[in-house]
Chain A
């Protein structure tokens, strides 16, 4: 069974440019998460989806960040415009049902490493 797939793995852009990250969760997982991982830090939740509904986006900087999960499967995270401080790894994770997080059954992708110059 395929795991969580993210692309691109690496992205280098200049500040003020837009960037988008894509995530394909494990088949059948209706809960999808985007996490931000800064260098030397643990992951921090940006947004959580239950199917196509964003049920927790309280940590998403909505002035420049946006996300969507059309049809409740794949998801895209966009930054426009990017700033120097956005350089980080963006992790996508999925789980089977919102209760699954209570058992730690989150499956993470390999992440998308963004460098903003």
Chain B
């Protein structure tokens, strides 16, 4: 079984400041990793994903994340945030092989960008 821990439930930052949202996972098998974003009153949409290859992945809206296998982490970063980045961010994992198609989400981190 897999589990995802998002270490911060809320992260308040000022506009144009850098931000890091932390995600750690636990799994006995190799996994694929994802970050989803949920804007207020909207559904979730895929922000970025790590499947294989370069451990630094870039997503939409200037976000990037780095996969660290030894630390079982997949932290999300943005060098300069905007008001419009205010949203809930979810880290998720799925086994990379076999037929287990269950996507496991973390509890989410609410990013609030203040002017």
Contact = CB atoms under 8 A, between A and B. Distances in A.
Interface in B85-115: 90, 92, 94, 96, 101-103, 105-108
Contacts, number: 61
Nearest to B96: A102
B81 to A, nearest CB: 22
A104 B46 contact: yes
Interface residues of A, number: 24
27 contacts: A40-B108, A41-B108, A42-B90, A42-B105, A42-B106, A42-B108, A43-B44, A43-B90, A44-B105, A45-B102, A56-B101, A91-B43, A93-B44, A98-B101, A101-B103, A102-B101, A103-B32, A103-B49, A103-B51, A104-B34, A104-B46, A104-B103, A106-B44, A106-B46, A106-B103, A110-B41, A110-B43
B46 A105 contact: yes
A111 interface: yes
B21 interface: no
Given A103-B49, A110-B41, A110-B42, A42 B101 contact: no
What are the nearest 3 A-B pairs in CB distance? Answer: A42-B105, A108-B43, A104-B34
A91 B45 CA distance: 12
Interface residues of B, number: 24
Interface in B42-83: 42-46, 49, 51
Given A91-B44, A107-B45, 17 more contacts: A3-B43, A40-B108, A48-B101, A91-B43, A98-B101, A101-B94, A102-B96, A103-B32, A104-B32, A104-B46, A105-B46, A106-B46, A108-B43, A108-B44, A108-B45, A109-B43, A111-B43
Nearest to B44: A108
A42 B35 CA distance: 12
A44 B106 CA distance: 10
A25 to B, nearest CB: 12
Contact of B101 (A41, A43, A101): A101
A104 B49 contact: yes
